[in-house]
Amino acid sequence: MTAQTRDEATHQRATPSGQLRIARVESFILHVPIHKYVEDSFNTADRWGLPGVILHTDAGISGLGYTSTLTHGDTAIKAVIDELYAPILIGEDPRLHERIWQKLFWSKAHWVGRLGITTMAHAAVDIALWDIKAKAANLPLWRFLGGDKDGRVRSYNTDGGWLNYSETELLAHLRGIVDQGWTAVKMKVGKPDPREDYARVRAARRMLGDEIDLMIDANQVWDLTTARTWASRMEEFNVRWLEEPLHPDDVRSHTLLARATRIPLAVGEHVYSALTFRDFLEAGALGYVQADCTRLAGVTEWLQVAALAKSFNVPVVPHHADMMRVHQHLSAGLNASPMLEVIPWLQDIFEEPLCIKDGWVYPPETPGASTAVRAEKFAEYRVA
């Protein structure tokens, strides 16, 4: 079975006039090589995990959704889909996303875990539902959501700033990204000695000049004292934001840090609920909301967070974990999201590779959420 059979594809432009029901739930796990080895302050990777689900309907329309891992915990996510969510989904109208969202959230999964693995499984299902909804409307998801942007979204590139790069390699990779047209880049910090981080950020700013946006990402490894000390020292480098400096559940410390530095804080890739984002925003702790529809419970909760951030006048810049498939639509569809993160690792596995020109992402016009995987790649990388 492929991610999307050719027979189903021929029906996807036909909008059902009456009932539309989920007839079959097919879970899967893909392990995709990323063709390089990378490190941040506490993760390493050379493969990317995509546990997910295909929802098949009785009208011939299918929807594909997934979440993202470093290939750890995939089987647990798949088990939640198979054992806890699939029985609820059969027979439901996939267009009624709010009804289904509530049923999944208050299912037996609520007892064993409201955040983390159960939420990521929920995300995969919810993304598949929105894929179906947009296909049933014969619209790309970004147009289905309202289409705030004029067919393109500015992006920034993270793929040149890994900690395992020497300073020379770091500068060469960042320069290569800028030479491709990007005007915004991100690099990792979080070395055992922050003095090395300082030197690398200084070198990057000198090489890039003042016209390129530069963001830094500590991936949670600093304590409050370290963050206060080094954030204030890095202010001279005109850093657009400091990402995940502290433990992602520690709203209090982020609030204190936000008061101690002029660099805006960006948090969200490890925030799993709209309620937690509410607490960060009410505390005045965030300059950027990095909501991720594969870590929140799908597009439905992502839209709640985006509306919440908009009410606090804080921009939403999605985390990359869906490898920009759904997030390109969300950023293009909503006024709350001015920019998109790009790490272009998995583009060759999808039926529609990301269209990027001079750092701008152009979402496609094909109906759906752009999650369809090429049949031969789906077969090659499927491990469950």
pLDDT tens string 265-285 = 999 999 999 999 999 999 999
% helix, strand, coil for the chain, step of 5? 40, 20, 40
Which position among 97, 135, 188, 377 bears the catalytic label? Answer: 188
User: What are 108-140's pLDDT values in tens digits?
Assistant: 999 998 899 999 999 999 999 999 999 999 999
Q: What secondary structure, in 3-state letters, does 14-36 show? A: CCCCCCCCEEEEEEEEEEEEEEE
Among 122, 173, 270, 319, which one carries the catalytic annotation?
A: 319
Is pLDDT above 80 for 15?
no
Residue 319 a catalytic site member: yes
Question: 11: pLDDT confidence band, cut at 50, 70 and 90?
Answer: very low
What would the two tokens of residue 38 be? 């990378």
Tell me the β-bridge partners of 63.
55
Report the mean per-residue pLDDT for the chain. Answer: 94
Active site residue 188: yes
pLDDT at 207 over 60: yes
pLDDT of residue 4: 53
Helices (H), 263-374: 274-282, 298-311, 325-333
pLDDT in tens, 132-179: 999 999 999 999 999 999 889 999 999 999 999 999 999 999 999 999
Q: Which of 324, 289, 331, 364 is nearest to 153 (CA)?
A: 331
Specify the residue for token string 């309620």.
275
Distances (CA, A) of 30 to 2, 66, 77, 122: 12, 10, 12, 17
| Residue 209: both structure tokens together | 């000049």
Give the chain's domains with CATH numbers: 6-138 (3.30.390.10), 142-374 (3.20.20.120)
Give the model's confidence band at 254: pLDDT under 50 very low, under 70 low, under 90 confident, else very high: very high
Report yes or no: 30 and 24 within 8 Å, Cβ to Cβ: no
Q: C-alpha distances in angstroms, 277 versus 113, 280, 338?
A: 18, 5, 18
Digit-coded pLDDT (tens) for 342-372: 998 999 999 999 999 999 999 999 999 999 9
Nearest CA-CA partner of 345 in 125, 162, 179, 221: 162
Q: Average pLDDT for residues 199-214, to the nearest whole number?
A: 98
Sheet holding 22-39, edge to edge: 22-39, 44-57, 62-66
Q: CA–CA separation, 299 vs 124, rounded Å?
A: 9
Q: Of all residues in the chain, what percent carry a pLDDT higher than 70?
A: 96
How distant, in Å, are the alpha carbons of 144, 203, 227 from that of 168? 45, 9, 25
Whether this prediction's pTM lies above 0.75 is answered by yes
Listed range (111-115, 129-133, 195-199, 378-382) with the worst mean pLDDT: 111-115
Burial 239-276 (b: 16+ CB within 10 A, else e): bbbbbbbbebebbebbbbbbeebebbbbbbbbbbbbeb
